[in-house]
Every structure is written in structure tokens, then in C-alpha cells.
Structure 1
Amino acid sequence: MVKFSGYSLISSFTPVHSVVLKSRRRLFLVKCCKNSTKSRGLSTCVQVDQLYTKGNMVARRYHRPLFSVAPMMDWTDNHFRTLARLISKHAWLYTEMLAAETIVYQKGNLDRFLAYSPEQHPIVLQIGGSNLENLAKATELANAYHYDEINFNCGCPSPRVAGHGCFGARLMLDPKFVGEAISVIAANTNVPVTVKCRIGVDDHDSYNELCDFIYKVSSLSPTRHFIVHSRKALLNGVSPADNRRIPPLKYEYYYALLRDFPDLKFTINGGINTVTEVKAALREEAHGVMVGRAAYNYPWQLLGHVDTVIYGAPPSGLTRREVLKKYQEYGDSVLGINGNNRPNVRDVAKPLLNFFHSEPGNSLWKRKADAAFQDCTTMKSFFEETLVAIPDSVLDSPVGEIPSGREDLFAGVHSLLPPPYDASEQEALYA
């Protein structure tokens, strides 16, 4: 039997943790590694496409991850992912980074951390940690929630991560451990395991050092897909915000990886803020694009175009009013489920605060929302008090024109590529 813990967005908003799904269809994946071959089951999915791993092609019921929303601590929670999925059916969604220790020590309260609605597929669980035993236990515990992939965090520069337990971006300095960690995760799950990393850390920022990391990790583990943030990480007290601003973007490193590791898959991340820029990256043959805060700050303008512009789906004609109606049902079904009045209306409404970005009435809507947080106890009453600020023409219009973006963001990038990576020494080491 399969247990989903979450809330249905289509047929009902009754919590489905009390519902037993009577059937489970399985697909099977043969993972080809250097030292072993395992048959692994994949959870039931949504739409047929192809996902490639080294040495074999896996039939999946999802579109490929041409577009994904980055894992963001305190941002990509269940509420935001619910909103994102209501707007886009095909974007790949990531959880916030969850420390393996959190999953292990909260095993009696896992729904709070791991539950999600079935409609959120395709969805990726990002795990962080540096203790192999806890990574194994956390993976086993997460299996009951049927995530579509597990992503191992080697990119977060936050002092909360890099300075506590020495994981996140700091792990790029220890690729041997990363390979071991991924192998431990992969041995305890039925789904692919990917890596999210930076192009370097502090002074270890040469292209050859990045390639050494990619080569060692892919040689020592079954991972064949890397999500690469095109900035290096600065770990010595530099804030996450400054890490997104100070280190320069080096897209040429990403595109050089495509050249030098043709048997691997790479998703590009960093500084890409519109669907126009996503298309520009794909036009230069990026395997996939991950967008971070822009998806949160402009959800309607960005996510509203993903299915049509990136995946070629016909326009849905979806309006903001329709999205909010469904989100209201979801929100009222989850208020207070964690006890102590959490989540409350403010928690659930947080992802909506940029929903009317740049539209008439947006400023008044935010002021009304701030006031409504003081006394509204349901999402229905919250919307009744606040949506009067937004014109019907805004609420009832489908997604508008594609926002402008830098179509030339990657122009000339191939002329900037560093010299090809020579893997001969690494091949001798790992032969």
C-alpha cells in the first residue's frame, strides 16, 4: 500500500493521509554504475518522456526537467509548491533543503517535513548532511513519501549549513566523501540521486578543480545529473545574499562541462530570471535550467509561461481568480494542522504576496493583506477582505505577454570556454 501525506488539489482538499490508495503502479529502472547494477522501482508519475542516465535510457511519465524551481530555505515550502503547481503543471519543484538529522530525529513527526500533495509531482527532495549513517536513515524514512528524485546539497553557502556539520558547499572540497554519501543514499532509495553544487569554493575556483569534482563524484557514485550554480561560494562569513551577488557568474564553466562530460547531464542555475532567458540557455543546448528567487518574486509572470514557452503546451486560459479559488480550498484545509495555530493565515498567504506584482491595486492589496493578518482566521475571509483591491480585469485575465528578458544572455559564451579538461590523471587514479 502507498501512503501519501498531503492535500489533494483537484478532487478534494481533505487531508489524504487518512486515505489508502488501493493500487500502485511501478516502473523499473536499471541503474548502471561502475561497480554494481541494481533494479529500482520508480513511483507513479504524470506524463511520458525520456530521462537519460549513463548507459541507459529510462522511460518516465514526466517531461524532462527543462525547467525547475530551485530549493530555497524558508521559501519553497509546501505552500509555495502548491501555488507553483497550480500555475505550472510541468515545472520540476524542489523542497527546501532538509538536513538528514532533522528527518532522523523527527521520524515521529515526518508529515510536517515531508508531506506534500500528489499533484506536486514531479518533485525532488533535497537532503543535506555529512553523516553517512544519518543520510542512509533519512533516505529510508523519506521513501514512504515517494519523491521522484533525491538531490544532495553541495551548494548552499549559508553559515547555518557550511558552518554546522560541514556540509553544503563546503563538501565540494571533499569529492570522495560526496561520492560515498551519494552511494549511501542511492543504496537506500528507488529513485535517481542528483547533486546541486557551485562552480567552486573560495580560492578553489579553477575550471580544472570543478572538473575534478565532477569526475570524482560521477566515478565514485551512480549520479549522472548535476545542477550547477554558475557562481562560486564564499564561505568565510559572507551572507547567502552576498553569495548571490558578489562572485561573478561564469556561464562558460557550465557550457564547458557539457563539452567535457558528454555522458552526464547538467542543469544551469544562477542569474536566470525570465522565461526568455531560460529559452536562451536552452537554445545554447543547456540540458535544463533552474530558476530561484525570480520564481518566488514573480510567480504569475514567470511560472505562468513555463508550460507553453518551455514545454510547448497549449495555453490553459487559467486566470488568477481560478488559481486563488483552488488555493483558498487548499489553505483552509491546512490551517492549524501542526497545532499551536500553525500554519496560520499569514503562513499560508506568504507565497501570494507577489502574486499581483506590477499590477494595478498591488500596493493596496499588500496593505490590506497586512491588516487582514491581524484578525482573519480563514483564507476565505482573508480573500474577502483583500481582493477588493484588485480590479476584475486583473483577476479574470489569463497569463499575459511574455515579460522581456535578456535574449543575448548567453551570446558568445562558447567563445569563452576554458581549455578542455584532461581527465587522464583522474582516470588512472580511479581505474
Structure 2
Amino acid sequence: MERKLWEILDVYLISLPDRFLAYSPEQHPIVLQIGGSNLENLAKATELASAYNYDEINFNCGCPSPKVAGHGCFGVRLMLDSKFVGEAMSIIAANTNVPVSVKCRIGVDDHDSYHELCDFIYKVSSLSPTRHFIIHSRKALLNGISPADNRKIPPLKYEYYYALMRDFPDIKFTINGGINSVVEVNAALREGAHGVMVGRAAYNNPWRTLGHVDTAIYGAPSSGLTRREILERYQEYGDHVLGRDGNKRPNVRDVAKPLLNLFYSEPGNGLWKRKADFAFQHCTTMKSFFEETLAAIPDSVLDSPIAGVPSGREDLFANIHDLLPSSYDAREQEALDA
């Protein structure tokens, strides 16, 4: 899992760290993502996080939002300053005892050649202990399109990802972008991917996307759990964490938000969401929230176990190795001085 802690701006975070950093032990392994361009603040953020025992600290070099990247201080624009990213990763690593990683795109605007991507990876890994990069296999376009369009308009270039694995054998790479099912996850792994990150698909349709993960990816026996049984367990978890920071946060809306697409495309889904919007205004426990909203969902949906593994593009990476760009020839002094 991944939690986001944007750049520290004032004493507010320092005075209320639990609100931003606390989580339940069941969430391990869990990664904290931080972002910003102020080295002192990045050090403070990492130091604050150390008390919470995250399993990894990740640095955001991939967000294309104009609210942050457009100001040149956050997210994917940092890919244009690989020397700074290397310095930032060194400072982050110096303030934690856990592994560090970078999440990035394959390029920015016209800086989208494979060689430029390799220069970024080479410089960051040479200037810091970073040995794990999560690669969103699209470039980012910073002018004229929204963050949502940046997740679908720039073409996917999975060949860049697999070429990085070839050219940097001592670094771990996780692939991201356009992978929407466990079938496609397995297709990436068969082609040698070190790891696979699934983002929007898991949020937009969690039952279909995640219901088979333990069985299809890790070979675990099928649990046979129903959505009703999952929600019963989630209720216990939710009521345990409500108001944990002493300032009524997280509230019911915060805790229930990851559930809102659990009934995607099922009968009653629209009514469930409308009931949820109304319940957020007054419910103070997860128990009362479910009592008020789940009547919208038929028992046949609540009590049916996950069906067979859904379809996906088994050929998503077919012939990918025939498309790899030419090998990267690291020009050490040039890359580090650039």
C-alpha cells in the first residue's frame, strides 16, 4: 500500500503526525510516499515517518498535476533535475533505516527519449542509495491536458521499462500504467518484470481487480469470502480507527471512501452511493453507516463469492523484447556533470 505525505509547509503536521502517518498493523507491508523540493523539509518528513515503521519511503517524481508540477517544485518536473533528485534521495535515505525508492514517468514533454530516461536513472542511482524505481510507462505532458488525461493520452511504452531492466541489472524496477487485471499482471511477470503496480484499476473496481490476487498471483487457496464477510471485518477495523488522532479524524467518510466502488456495475450500486453520500453527513460509526446503506445492495450480490478469474490481455506484452531500444551506454562524467 501507499500513503501520501505532501511537502511539510508548517508546524501543523509536526503537531498532528498521527493524522497523516498512523496506520493499522494489518497494512504491512506499507510504503510512505513523500514529495517536494525543499531538502530540509524532505529530511523532516522522513525523520517524522521513522517512528511509524513504514517498510519503504518513496519519492514522488511522477505526479503531473499542474497544481504541483506546474510550479516546478514537485512531481514529474523533478525528472528534469536528476541531480537534485539524487541529492534528495541521499537525504531521505540518511534519515531512515528502510529502503528508499523513486516513482517516476518515462519522460516529460519533449524530454522523452530512452537515453534521457537512462540518464535520470543512472544519475539518481549513482548519487544516492536508490535501488528501486517504479516506472509509469507513459511520459507526462505538463501543458494543456489534465492529470486524468495524463493517465491515458500519452502512449504506453512498456519497451522502455524492459530495456531498463536489461541495462541496469543491479536495480529493481516495478512496472506501472495500463495494467488492469491479474491476467495482465501475470503477463508482465512472465516477461520478467520485477514487480507490478496496479493503481486506478484497483481503486475503481476493487472486487474484480483484487479479489483474485492471492490465488492468481501468489498461489494461495481461494478464500471463498463474500463481500458481506469482507464488510463485516472492515466494520471492526473502521470503528477501531475512527477519530484516532483526537480531532475526529479519520471520520466515516475517510474510512469508507476505499469501499465506494466495491459494487461497481452491480445492481444497487447507484443507490448505494447516493445513500453513502447522505450517510456521511451524520453517521459517526461504520456500523451505523453500513446499517443505513447496505439495504441498497441485493443479498445475492452481498453473499456471492468472487467468481472466476476475470479476463485480461494475456498478450499485453507479446513480442515486447523485439521492441527494445538500443542498449544504454552510460557516459559517467557527462551524465553526472549535466
Range into which the TM-score falls when normalised by the shorter chain: over 0.9
User: What per-residue deviation string (whole Å, max 9, x for no partner) do you get for residues 108-134 of structure 1?
Assistant: 110000010111100000011111111
Name the structure 2 match of 1:301.
208
1:105: how far off?
4.9
**Partner SS state of residue 100, structure 1:** coil
Count of residues paired in the alignment: 337
Q: 1:310 aligned to 2:184?
A: no
Q: 1:109 aligned to 2:9?
A: no
Alignment check: 8 A CA contact 1:301 1:403 kept: yes
Farther-moved stretch of structure 1 (386-395 vs 135-144)? 386-395
In structure 2, the CA distance between the partners of 1:103 and 1:147, relative to structure 1 (3 Å rule), is farther
Structure-2 separation of matches of 1:264 and 1:339? 42
Alignment check: 8 A CA contact 2:18 2:245 kept: no
**Partner SS state of residue 171, structure 1:** helix
Name the structure 2 match of 1:258.
165
Name the structure 1 match of 2:300.
393
In structure 2, the CA distance between the partners of 1:322 and 1:102, relative to structure 1 (3 Å rule), is farther
List runs of 5+ in structure 1 lacking aligned partners: 1-92
Q: 1:188 aligned to 2:95?
A: yes
List runs of 5+ in structure 2 lacking aligned partners: none
**Partner SS state of residue 8, structure 2:** helix
Structure-2 separation of matches of 1:349 and 1:95? 16
Alignment check: 8 A CA contact 1:104 1:137 kept: no
Farther-moved stretch of structure 1 (333-342 vs 156-165)? 333-342
Q: 1:280 aligned to 2:184?
A: no
Structure-2 separation of matches of 1:207 and 1:393? 50
The CA RMSD over aligned residues, in Å, is 2.0
Candidates 261, 270, 292, aligned match of 2:177: 270
Candidates 320, 323, 327, aligned match of 1:413: 320
- The residue type equivalent to 1:399 in the other structure is I
- The residue type equivalent to 1:205 in the other structure is D
1:103: how far off?
8.0
Q: 1:137 aligned to 2:137?
A: no
Aligned identity (percent) is 80
**Partner SS state of residue 159, structure 1:** coil
- The residue type equivalent to 1:94 in the other structure is E
1:314: how far off?
1.6
Name whichever structure is richer in strand by fraction: 1
User: What per-residue deviation string (whole Å, max 9, x for no partner) do you get for residues 40-74 of structure 1?
Assistant: xxxxxxxxxxxxxxxxxxxxxxxxxxxxxxxxxxx
Candidates 94, 106, 130, aligned match of 2:2: 94
1:427: how far off?
5.8
Name the structure 2 match of 1:426.
332
When normalised by structure 1's length, the TM-score is: 0.74
Structure-2 separation of matches of 1:232 and 1:155? 9
Name the structure 1 match of 2:75.
168
Alignment check: 8 A CA contact 2:16 2:245 kept: no
Structure-2 separation of matches of 1:103 and 1:252? 42
Structure-2 separation of matches of 1:421 and 1:148? 31
When normalised by structure 2's length, the TM-score is: 0.93
In structure 2, the CA distance between the partners of 1:165 and 1:422, relative to structure 1 (3 Å rule), is closer
1:325: how far off?
1.0
